[in-house]
Amino acid sequence: MRYKRNEAFRYQLNDSIEAVLTLKIDADTLSSKGHVLIDNISPNGLRFRSAYDLPVGDTRLLLQLQFTLNENEIMMPGHITWKKKMGNQFEYGYEGTGDNNAKQKIISGLKELSRMENKEQE
């Protein structure tokens, strides 16, 4: 598994977040919407798992993940960077394409989530 050591932070979620996945080539939608589970997240990418066997390294293929983080709806376009088979599911590394609006929503959502978890531990 590759990790970005220069990543500012990667937040490990206590409870996975459900996301809706759509596959596209250029502007053409290739798939109906599927569901995946996000396990950790940063402003630049995330790790998710799914029963779908998705291709890695096809630069024409654009994925879009749509999920809610602390009541903020986030649309994160990106690409799969790695894949690992785990039982009857696959685990994926996902890199966002640099949408600054999505990055800011993720940062704000993770800060709030961290504050809420710290209050629960007190």
Q: For residue range 12-54, list pLDDT tens digits in order.
A: 998 999 999 998 876 666 667 889 999 999 999 999 999 999 8
- Model-level pTM? 0.83
Q: Which domains does the chain have, with CATH numbers?
A: 11-121 (2.40.10.220)
Question: What is the pLDDT at residue 23?
Answer: 86
Of 11, 101, 88, 92, the residue nearest 48 (C-alpha) = 92
Confidence of residue 87 (pLDDT cuts 50, 70, 90): very high
Residue 59 has pLDDT above 80, yes or no: no
Strand partners, 86: 89
Lowest mean pLDDT, pick from 40-44, 63-67, 91-95, 118-122 = 118-122
- Compute the distance between CA of residue 17 and CA of residue 72 in angstroms, rounded to an integer: 12
